[in-house]
């Protein structure tokens, strides 16, 4: 065959038929070197006459170098001129048979490798099996490595674990891994399991999970652990609505406001020292 290989390398392209340079080679017959595309493609088979390659019919397949077409296994099919069979969903084609995907996984019809089998969320494919993610972690469906498992909410750790209970952040309290938001009127500005503290008088926090309390408007104050700005009322000597703004009714520094305890009837009178002049 060696002489024919050399001869075939210069065979006129007009006589090669549909074969390409990569897939044809000279073969000895009774009287001449002829072209045989015995590796034309994975869907060709070689005739004993070495004269041509013929496509397999649908429902059959042939690998490169085959001399016959083989029926697809039960439950699978193929198009004409196929080099493999189309397995149903949940299986994949390998070693000339349809193989079941690993337990708990599935695949699309026509898959050709176990890596095309998809494990469910919370698992990952490795060594042809679906493995559970480490404790307190999960993964997206179709994950293929343990590093695709990430820690659940309330836990911390590197991708792939281990995952440990997370310390409570600012605005949260409780044991690690079971944190809850501070209530309105309370705050926490440190990380850990410490209790939330009440907002001091003159401050408030509207929503839960606060890390700081908000100061009342100028010239107003509120009780401790207040939950709304409307709990801030004007200081003595000032007037205005709940939540401010609070203003002084006596603009003249020689006058004072007598009996004012907030928004209401505030009257300005002369200071006593003025009356004694």
- In tens, the pLDDT along 179-201 reads 999 999 999 999 999 999 999 99
Question: What is the per-residue pLDDT for 177?
Answer: 83
Last residue of a domain, one of 20, 36, 71: 71
| Residue at 217 is within a domain | yes
Domain count, the chain: 3
Q: Are residues 233 and 277 in the same domain?
A: yes
Q: Are residues 41 and 115 in the same domain?
A: no
Q: Are residues 272 and 202 in the same domain?
A: yes
Q: Are residues 58 and 117 in the same domain?
A: no
| Residue at 61 is within a domain | yes
pTM for this predicted structure: 0.54
Q: How far is CA 185 from CA 171, 201, 208, in A?
A: 11, 11, 8
Question: What is the per-residue pLDDT for 45?
Answer: 36
Domain region containing 145 = 91-164
Which alpha helices (DSSP H) does the chain contain, by range? Answer: 2-8, 272-275
Helix (H) or strand (E) holding 165: strand 164-165
C-beta of residue 194 within 8 angstroms of C-beta of residue 188: yes
Q: Are residues 61 and 101 in the same domain?
A: no
Last residue of a domain, one of 120, 140, 164: 164
Question: What is the per-residue pLDDT for 53?
Answer: 63
Q: Are residues 66 and 95 in the same domain?
A: no
Question: What is the per-residue pLDDT for 125?
Answer: 96
Q: How far is CA 228 from CA 171, 204, 216, in A?
A: 17, 6, 9
Q: Which residues of the chain have pLDDT under 70?
A: 1-53, 65, 250-277
């Amino acid at each position: 065959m060696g002489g024919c290989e050399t001869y075939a390398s210069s065979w006129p392209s007009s006589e090669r038929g549909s074969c390409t340079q990569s897939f044809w080679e000279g073969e000895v017959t009774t009287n001449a070197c002829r072209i045989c595309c015995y590796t034309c493609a994975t869907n060709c088979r070689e005739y004993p006459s070495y004269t041509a390659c013929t496509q397999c019919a649908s429902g059959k397949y042939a690998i490169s170098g085959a001399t016959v077409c083989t029926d697809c296994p039960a439950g699978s099919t193929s198009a004409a001129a196929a080099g493999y069979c189309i397995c149903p969903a949940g299986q994949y084609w390998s070693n000339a048979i349809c193989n079941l995907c690993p337990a708990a996984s599935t695949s699309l019809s026509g898959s050709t490798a176990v890596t095309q089998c998809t494990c469910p969320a919370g698992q990952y494919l490795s060594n042809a099996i679906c493995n559970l993610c480490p404790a307190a972690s999960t993964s997206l469906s179709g994950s293929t490595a343990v590093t695709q498992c990430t820690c659940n909410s309330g836990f911390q750790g590197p991708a792939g674990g281990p995952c440990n209970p997370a310390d409570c952040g600012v605005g949260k309290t409780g044991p690690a891994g079971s944190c809850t938001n501070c209530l309105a009127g309370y705050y926490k500005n440190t990380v850990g399991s410490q209790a939330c503290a009440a907002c001091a008088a003159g401050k408030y926090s509207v929503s839960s999970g606060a890390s700081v309390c908000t100061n009342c408007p100028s010239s107003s104050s509120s009780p401790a652990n207040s939950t709304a700005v409307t709990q801030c009322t004007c200081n003595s000597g000032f007037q205005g609505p709940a939540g401010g703004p609070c203003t002084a009714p006596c603009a003249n520094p020689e006058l004072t406001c007598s009996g004012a305890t907030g928004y209401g009837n505030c009257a300005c009178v002369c200071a006593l020292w003025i009356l004694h002049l």
